[in-house]
Structures are given as C-alpha cells and as structure tokens.
C-alpha cells in the first residue's frame, strides 16, 4: 500500500502542480509526508514493544486511510499538504512494524532472503502504482490516486485482525517518554522548515539561521531529556556503536538520492519529453523490478562476503546510474531512462537491504524493534531533508533562469504547466522549447547533488567494520 502510494503520487505530482498552481511549494507535498512519518517512527518503535505489533500496525493503517481520503478531496495545494501530514502519521507505523515482525520471525542468516521476498511485493506494488496512477490521472483525475488506498487499507486491517497472532509482551511497562517524543518532533519540524526556507529569497538567510540555531538547541535538550528518561524514545547507547551509526547514515544518504529519482524522473518524462503521466510513471517500473533482484543479490553477497563489500558493490552501481542521469542529453528517449532506472534499482536493492540487516545485527534481540525503527527513521530523514534540498535547488535554478529572460515573458509558474497536457496547451508555442531547456538543466543539477550523496556514502562505508554476518 505504501509502495503504491509513493509511486502514484510521484507520477501524478507534475499534473497536480499544474492544476493546483502550487509548483513552488510542490516539494512540501513529499516533505510533510516524510516529516510526520519520521516523527512518528521512533514512537511507534517503542509502542510495538509496549502494547504489541498488531494494535500499532492496525492503528497506523486506519490513520493512513483517513489521510488518503482527505487528500482525495483536496481543493488546493495547501490542503493537500495538510492532509499528507495526516497520511504520513499513519505511514510511520506500517513499514517499521512490518520489518520488526520479520526480525521477530526469522534469524539473521535468513533475513536478507526474506527482505528480498518483501521487496518482491514492494516491487509488484510499485509497478502497479505508475500504471494505475498514470491511467487514473489521464482519465478520471488525480484525486482518485488517493482514494485507491482506502479499499486496500480496509482489506489489510481485516487480514491483520484475522491472521496476525503475537504472544503477549513480557516487558515491564514503563512511562511513555512524552518529553523526548515532543522534543524530537520539534527538532525534526524546525530542521525541515530550515531547509525549506532556503528557497525563499526574501529574508531566507535570517529565518534559516534561526531554524538551524534552534536545531542545535533542541538537539542538546533532546540528549539531556533522553539521558534522564526511564524509557527513552531513542536509547543514546545505540549511537555509541560505530557500525550502527555508519549504516544508518548510508541508508539516509541513499534514500535521499532515491527521492531524486522517484520525484524528478516522472517530471523529466512529462515536462521535458512531453509524455503522458501513464507512460512517464512507467520509467520507475524497472527500478522496482530491479530492486527485487538487488535484494536477492544482497542475500548471496552476504553469504559469501562482508556487508562492507556488499554495500560497496551496491553503492558503485548507484553511482554509475547517477552519473548517467546527470549527463544524458535532452534528446534521451524513454527506453534509455528505463534502462538507467533498472540498473540503479539493482544497486538500491543491494544497499538498502544490507543496511537493514546490518543495523539489526548490531543490537541484541530486545532492541531489534527500536533498531529497525531507527533504520527506517534514518531513511525517512534522508528522504525528508533531500526532497527539500532538491526542491530548493530546482526552484532557485528556475527563478534564476526565468529572471534572465527579456524577450519571451517567461514566468516561474509556466514551468509547472509543462508537466500537464491540459495546461501545456495554454502556453505560447514559442516558450515551450526554452522552458523545457530550463527544466532539463535544472534536473541535471539535482542529479549532480545526488552524486555527491553517493560519493559521501562510499567514503563512509570504508569506515565500517568488515564482518561477515552469516
């Protein structure tokens, strides 16, 4: 369900931005979803140990259904952003709880294989997403891409209630770390807003500086609160494990790069190549299939080698894919993007699977739930921060290029109109080529930033302890 949601929204977002006239704040549709997801993940990680996997999982799905329904009736970009926040609160429980259940059932030597099977379902759903999303946008309208989650969610709740059986928790119940949870939420909110203000040329530097100063203060407060908490929302002892820290940082960087693909390849297909949403979204389908292959390859690599070497293989593949995206000419056809997407997906499948298995191996059985939640949180934070940074980079590029125009009367909002066939017809014919050129060069800039992330991940990986898990 969450896989379908990710690819459907990515596919439909260019059309939504064109119709709701909110391209300048489009990145917030992704950012707010990831932010609320990130804020709730560690809290859910604690609750699953306190009250069990089943009630937390069901609660998350129900909130996700409510958020999806509200998104479907949005009449403005602001409304959509607010309702996506609710959707993210629910989504924060789904993936980490599912991963924790896998860790409960399977020993570490089998987890990579099971995660590969899990990725297979993710891959299938991710292929259905672009197909359904593009078809829905091109036929009955983008509002329905959110309504599709409702019946799926209802069925999932029923199946969970019927078939998921778990033993009663034997852990002693401790008071909820309310102070730590609220401080963490405030820290993440201010951090994201600080990155988002970078795109505002009027007074952005002052607001951004204030936000980052608050992040430092809140960081100190959070550490102090967690040190004195009876049952901290995040145990600070986990951060003393160097390998645990390294693999989670790598997960954050790689997930940040992934957002550049999920969000901006559909924009490239529709805005630069002029494809319809259905076909444009299909450029992500090979990535989903290849991710499954990469997950199974991770299992084989971990059997014969160390996580360090396996992750090096995955990161190098991702880097090559990023280099292609940052250098392809404007005339690059659709099928070439499918090849690049698929190739990069293999690297993503290897790397992300390895980070999850390695993070779980760093802790004892009693802490697997919170370790899995922190790994998920790291990935979500990477996505949250980078979708904001990518949006800042792209908006600044658009504003700069449009400002240099003196003859065609180009405006920032005209670039958003490129991605929807309905709004494209409203543009002056002579402005389409220069607008597509601006979009093309802006997307190249985004992928150059993405390459920096993967290089940083490769460097970090060299400091990981070289150990075999199986």
pLDDT of 426 over the 90 cut: no
In this predicted model, what pLDDT tens digit does every residue of 232-264 receive, in sequence order? 878 788 888 889 999 999 999 999 999 899 888
Nearest to 393 by CA among 457, 441, 462, 460: 441
- Would you say 289 and 312 are in contact if contact means Cβ atoms under 8 Å apart? no
Gap between the Cα atoms of 166 and 101, Å rounded: 9
Q: Are the beta carbons of 373 and 44 closer than 8 angstroms?
A: yes
Q: Between 46 and 463, name the one with better pLDDT.
A: 463
> Would you say the CATH fold of 234-469 matches that of 1-166?
yes
> pLDDT at position 153, please?
92
pLDDT tens readout for residues 174-183: 677 888 888 9
CATH for 1-166, among 3.40.50.740, 3.40.50.720, 1.20.1250.20, 3.40.640.10? 1.20.1250.20
- Max mean pLDDT range (98-107, 231-240, 337-346): 337-346
Can you list the alpha helix ranges (DSSP code H) found in 203-333? 204-228, 242-267, 277-281, 285-304, 307-327
Superfamily of domain 234-469: MFS general substrate transporter like domains (1.20.1250.20)
| Poorest-pLDDT segment among 16-25, 307-316, 389-398 | 16-25
Q: Report the mean per-residue pLDDT for the chain.
A: 83
* pLDDT band, very low/low/confident/very high, at 155 (cuts 50, 70, 90): very high
Which token pair is 154?
A: 């209802």
342's CB contacts (< 8 A; 6+ apart) are: 286, 287, 289, 290
Hey, where are the domains in the chain?
Answer: 1-166, 178-232, 234-469
Confidence of residue 45 (pLDDT cuts 50, 70, 90): confident
């Amino acid at each position: 369900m969450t896989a379908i949601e990710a690819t459907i929204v990515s596919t439909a977002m260019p059309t939504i931005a064109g119709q709701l006239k909110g391209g300048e704040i489009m990145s917030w549709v992704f950012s707010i979803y990831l932010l609320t997801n990130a804020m709730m993940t560690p809290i859910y990680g604690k609750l699953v140990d306190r009250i069990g996997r089943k009630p937390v999982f069901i609660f998350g799905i129900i909130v996700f259904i409510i958020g999806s329904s509200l998104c479907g009736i949005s009449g403005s970009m602001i409304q959509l952003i607010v309702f996506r926040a609710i959707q993210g609160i629910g989504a924060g429980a789904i993936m980490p709880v599912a991963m924790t259940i896998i860790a409960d059932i399977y020993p570490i030597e089998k987890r990579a294989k099971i995660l590969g099977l899990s990725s297979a379902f993710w891959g299938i759903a991710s292929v259905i997403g672009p197909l359904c999303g593009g078809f829905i946008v091109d036929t009955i309208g983008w509002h329905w891409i959110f309504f599709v989650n409702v019946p799926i969610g209802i069925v999932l709740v029923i199946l969970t209630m019927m078939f998921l059986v778990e033993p009663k928790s034997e852990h002693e119940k401790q008071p909820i770390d309310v102070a730590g949870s609220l401080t963490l939420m405030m820290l993440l909110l201010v951090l994201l807003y600080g990155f988002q203000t970078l795109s505002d040329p009027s007074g952005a530097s002052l607001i951004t500086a204030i936000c980052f100063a608050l992040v430092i203060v809140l960081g100190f407060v959070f550490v102090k609160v967690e040190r004195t908490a009876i049952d901290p929302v995040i145990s600070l002892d986990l951060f003393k494990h160097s390998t645990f820290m390294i693999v989670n940082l790598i997960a954050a960087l790689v997930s940040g790069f992934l957002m550049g693909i999920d969000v901006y390849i559909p924009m490239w297909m529709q805005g630069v190549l002029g494809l319809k949403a259905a076909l444009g979204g299909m450029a992500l389908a090979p990535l989903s299939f290849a991710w499954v292959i990469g997950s199974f390859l991770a299992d084989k690599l971990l059997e014969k080698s160390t996580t360090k070497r396996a992750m090096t293989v995955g990161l190098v593949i991702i880097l090559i894919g990023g280099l292609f995206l940052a250098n392809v000419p404007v005339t690059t056809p659709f099928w070439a993007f499918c090849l690049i997407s698929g190739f990069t997906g293999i690297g993503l499948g290897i790397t992300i699977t390895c980070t999850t298995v390695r993070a779980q191996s760093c802790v004892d059985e009693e802490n697997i739930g919170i370790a899995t939640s922190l790994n998920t949180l790291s990935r979500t934070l990477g996505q949250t921060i980078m979708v904001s940074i990518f949006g800042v980079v792209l908006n600044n590029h658009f504003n700069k290029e449009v400002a240099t125009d003196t003859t065609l009367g180009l405006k920032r909002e005209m670039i958003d109109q490129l991605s929807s066939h309905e709004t494209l017809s409203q543009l002056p014919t002579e402005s389409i080529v220069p607008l597509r050129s601006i979009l093309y060069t802006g997307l190249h800039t985004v992928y150059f930033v993405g390459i920096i992330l993967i290089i940083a991940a490769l460097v970090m990986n060299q400091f990981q302890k070289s150990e075999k898990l199986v």
